[in-house]
Structure 1
Amino acid sequence: METQKKNNNSKILYISLSAAALLVIVLSVLYYMQNRELTEIVDGLTEEKNILTQEYQNLMFNFDSLQSDNDTLNYMLEMERQRIANLVEELKTIRATNTAKIREYQRELTTLRGVLRSYIIQIDSLNTINQELTRENIEHRRRYSQIQTSVRQLEATRATLEQKVTIASRLDVINMMAEGLNPSGRSTNRSSRTNRIKVCFTILRNVTAPVGMKEIYLRIERPDGQLLMHSRDDVFTHENTQINFSAKRAVEYGGEELDVCIFYNADVGELISGEYTADIFADGFHIGSHTFSLR
């Protein structure tokens, strides 16, 4: 009897250890696949930054190759060279995953391309008699065309990589709804009886999104386009811009589905009849929108 009991205990222990080992293997495979995808994204962003740095250096070379007999024009060219040199040094210090900064440097590169073109035209008009300078200007135009092609390719790469980063980390919501509540807490669709607006939704599961405490922001626009809010100081950052919000709520997100409700307390006479729009924001992204009506 004692031997049989020991055998049963051994079988249970063996099954438990096997199940634990299988779970560890599954989790390891999932972690490896997720880590490999994120590594590929970061590598792609690093390559994008390197290409952008090279484009700035090529642009500096083009400015260095410009020559003129006009002292004022030469001084302006030197100022632009120094400006590009400073941008190259700044670009080396930013992280490749800082896509907002990379986008700023991309726009600056486009501006400098226009500046380069204007100087080429000026030098060409000031030195039309000099055949050698004419030949060099043709070469500058060829290089400018190469810059345009490279910038278009870089922009396409950046757009693709940004889309991957957004898909991998942005939260998404479903089942979004909104309704008015009267002072008793009951649902109502009459604007005159509504003193609170309730907006509810479900945040979807996302294992690649950062976990922890998150601020969820709610913006509600009246039918006349006016934002419902209590203070001009109630702001958050969206696309590098500070914008106002109607209400917010802090939630702890662990990567799994999460039901959330946010309430806006309306001031007396603030609500009017018509169609309202409720928008949800988190982590700097617009993640949900819903329209509802009060009469």
Structure 2
Amino acid sequence: MSNQDNIHPQKSHKTAIIVGSISAVLLIILGFLYFKNKSEMQMLVDEMVEEKDMLTMEFETLALDYDSLKTSSDTLNLMLEKEREKISQLIEEIHTIKATNSSKIREYKKELTSLRKVLKNYVVQIDSLNQTNKALEQENQQFRRKVTTIQSSYKELEKEKENLEEKVDIASKLETYNMEASGLNSKDRSTTRASRVSKIRICFTIQKNITAEVGEKLVYLRLLRPDGALLYHSKQDLFKHENKEINFSASRIVEYGGDELDVCLYYKVDAGELTSGDYVADLFADGHHIGNMTFNLR
């Protein structure tokens, strides 16, 4: 065998070794690059998943921020409720998309930014409304205090008015003096014997009073027998005294001008009506008790 024949197989062998070595190196490099790329891709996916979770958390935090907003405005409450429903719907959508859907993630980020701006606007509106309500409440409190003060002053004035009216009423009350009682027989002669009396006469003088209302005055007489029974002719003979209607024995209209006035009232006695003993005569006018006396019949 010649030397040429031995050299050719040796070269082929060396070439095969070189090619194999290169292939092995390439495989190692490709394997390394593959695992490196896979690792980097996994890291990227993990980052995108984390980004999605963070986005979800930010939307949930935003929802809580909207829930914390309180206002007395029905219009604002309705608008806030719509925003809360919108956020809730976006959270549900984020849960359903893949973390690798970067375009959708970007859209939701933009929506988050927009919703945060809207939230700030609502916060400003609600704060302004609360400040206005606070100012109005202070004004209402001041107004209520003024009303209370006015009511208190009004009550005091009413009380003073009542006191003045009471004083005027007392001052204008008619007073009598010189009361005299006489029993008269059928010939209008005085008698103290009860069996002979046909009329009882009560005379008196109304005092001068410049504060009393002038004009016609209706004076009432009540006569009580010794047994306490009232002498009167009809149950319809009534007048008002101390918010009650009571019977009277006799009455008379007099014209009072503010000066002293002498008056006499008469009670016509029914047969057998009188008994022996002490009688009581009471006079009334303008709703007041203006005179009293006791007299005796035998």
- The TM-score normalised by the length of structure 2 is 0.46
Larger radius of gyration, structure 1 or 2? 2
